[in-house]
Amino acid sequence: MTNFEYEKLTEFDNHRTVLYLHDHAVGLKGFIALHRGGFHNPTFGATRFWNYVSEKDALRDALRLSRLMSYKSALAGLSYGGAKAVLIAPVADEKNRERILRSYASQVNLLSGNFITGTDVGLDRRDLTLMKKVSKFFVGFRYNPEYYTALGIYHSIKVCLSFLFGSSEVQGRSVSIQGLGKVGALLLAFLYKEGAHLIITDLQSDLIRKLKKKYHRVQVVPPQEIYKQKVDVFSPCALSGPLNIKSINKLNCKIIAGGANNQLASEEIGALLFRLGILYAPDYVVNAGGLISVVDEFEYPQQDSDRIKKRLAIIPKTLKLILAESVRKKIATNLVANHLAEKRIKEFI
Ligand code: NAD
């Protein structure tokens, strides 16, 4: 166990277990945090491999993200608790990276199936294949989780449009997307096909060039310009914390619905958005499609993408409920979602 007094960290939420991963021989360091569940059903949460500035930083991320996974799971109608693993990426050559991942996978085995995991930022399918050879508790092979994440966001945008404008029609609506990685690019494809006016940005200019070639109607802006675009929908699909005290003053959108985890720098930002009259679709509600697909892979021996699409219907259903409750009680959508998730965690997880 770590020598941190992790109970004193603000991110600590009576987590069930926090494991300190350490294999000096190969250079593995990190944490596995199990937030809720793990008694009758396993916990779910992907593994992040990231260049954290300190162990404390990594631990905070594991605590925060594992909690988010419990909320995501509960509101997706799943009875699995949330978890997260974070590995502190050392400067390592390919061979050493392999040794670290093998050592990590063997530590996942120590949890005897109470923790089911896959890949998050910093890990790819090749890494997943390697770790699966050591541990059977890795998922994310059968489907492309990003596809279902993007599909859930697309349906959520339609719910928000309908809620605000009385029609879920995407054609003619303007949408700005921040981050055109795996999720953002798929979302772009869905919206482009339906005739949305799209404004996009990414830090990687090569990626933007390729997308502009394929989707010639899109408008490209530099990363720092994305917040101030006058659009119906702003969709953050890059990293955590895009909605903060600085950025929200620049916003010129009516709806925020995107894939990035932890979009709000703090819960108070959600309240500020509410006061500004901007409809915020809570991130962990709208981006649950990937989780639903890996849970389906875990639960069923047979592949069935129609089954996942049916299961995805819970996302727009829950979002509608949250938006209606927010109007009825006059409280911010993030707070409505948090209350609902906490209630469901107590009942089902
Ligand atoms: P990704 O790494 O493939 O893409 C992220 C993109 O954002 C990259 O192209 C990167 O260059 C860009 N980016 C980073 N910072 C930026 C900035 N400041 N301005 C503009 N662009 C920036 O990741 P992904 O899998 O597409 O996931 C995107 C987000 O969605 C992440 O926050 C992730 O945690 C979350 N998420 C992903 C899934 C999934 O299924 N992959 C599921 C749930 C949530």
235 belongs to a structural domain: yes
CB 260 less than 6 A from any atom of ligand 1 = yes
CA 266-241-48 angle, 5° bins: 115
CB 83 less than 6 A from any atom of ligand 1 = no
- How many angstroms separate the most distant Cα atoms in the chain? 60
**What pLDDT is attached to residue 1?**
43
Q: Are 319 and 246 in a shared domain?
A: yes
CB 149 less than 6 A from any atom of ligand 1 = yes
What's the total number of domains in the chain? 2
pTM given for the model: 0.95
137 belongs to a structural domain: no
Rounded CA separation 241/215 (Å): 28
**What pLDDT is attached to residue 40?**
85
Q: Are 43 and 94 in a shared domain?
A: yes
The token duo for 115 is 């923790």
Per-residue pLDDT of the chain (349 residues; tens, 9 = 90+): 445 677 789 999 999 999 999 999 999 999 999 999 978 899 999 999 999 999 999 999 999 999 999 999 999 999 999 999 999 988 777 888 999 999 999 999 999 999 999 998 889 989 999 999 999 999 998 899 999 999 999 999 999 999 999 999 999 999 999 999 999 999 999 999 999 999 999 999 999 999 999 999 999 999 999 999 999 999 999 988 999 999 999 999 999 999 999 999 999 999 999 999 999 999 999 999 999 999 999 999 999 999 999 999 999 999 999 999 999 999 999 999 999 999 999 998 8
312 belongs to a structural domain: yes
Whose tokens are 């992790």? That residue is 6
The alpha carbon of 264 and the centre of ligand 1 are apart by a number of angstroms equal to 15
CATH number, domain with residue 228: 3.40.50.720
* Residue 254 region by backbone torsions, left for phi larger than 0, else alpha for psi between -120 and 50, else beta: alpha
Angle formed by the axes of helices 314-329 and 333-348, to 10°?
120
Q: Are 310 and 241 in a shared domain?
A: yes
Rounded CA separation 197/194 (Å): 9
Q: How far is CA 227 from CA 82, 86, 231, in A?
A: 31, 30, 10
Instruction: State which amino acid sits at residue 217.
Output: R
The alpha carbon of 47 and the centre of ligand 1 are apart by a number of angstroms equal to 15
Short-list 88, 110, 100, 109, CA closest to 31: 88
Coil, strand or helix: which one is 175?
A: strand
**What pLDDT is attached to residue 3?**
53
Q: Are 160 and 267 in a shared domain?
A: yes
Rounded CA separation 252/243 (Å): 13
Last residue of a domain, one of 107, 132, 157: 132
Q: Are 96 and 206 in a shared domain?
A: no
Give the domain range for residue 35: 3-67+81-132
Q: Are 23 and 154 in a shared domain?
A: no
CATH number, domain with residue 124: 3.40.50.10860
Minimal-distance CA residue to ligand 1 atom 15 = 238
76 belongs to a structural domain: no
Residue 84 among the catalytic residues: yes
Q: Are 337 and 225 in a shared domain?
A: yes
Rounded CA separation 277/272 (Å): 9
Whose tokens are 């390729």? That residue is 210
287 belongs to a structural domain: yes
Rounded CA separation 172/170 (Å): 6
CB 296 less than 6 A from any atom of ligand 1 = no
The alpha carbon of 38 and the centre of ligand 1 are apart by a number of angstroms equal to 28
Q: Are 166 and 314 in a shared domain?
A: yes
The token duo for 71 is 């909320």
Buried b (16+ CB within 10 A) or exposed e, 83-94: bbbbbbbeeeee
Q: Are 235 and 153 in contact (CB under 8 A)?
A: yes
Cβ-proximal residues to 97 (8 Å cutoff; 6+ apart), any chain: none
Q: How far is CA 75 from CA 91, 124, 151, 282, 342, in A?
A: 38, 27, 17, 11, 9
The token duo for 48 is 């992040």
290 belongs to a structural domain: yes
139 belongs to a structural domain: no
Q: Are 117 and 155 in a shared domain?
A: no
Q: Are 20 and 106 in a shared domain?
A: yes
Q: Are 8 and 60 in contact (CB under 8 A)?
A: no
**What pLDDT is attached to residue 220?**
98
Q: How far is CA 284 from CA 8, 65, 280, 325, in A?
A: 25, 10, 12, 17
**Of ligand 1's atoms, which has the minimum distance to the CA of residue 238?**
7
Q: Are 261 and 338 in a shared domain?
A: yes
229 belongs to a structural domain: yes
Q: Are 60 and 174 in a shared domain?
A: no
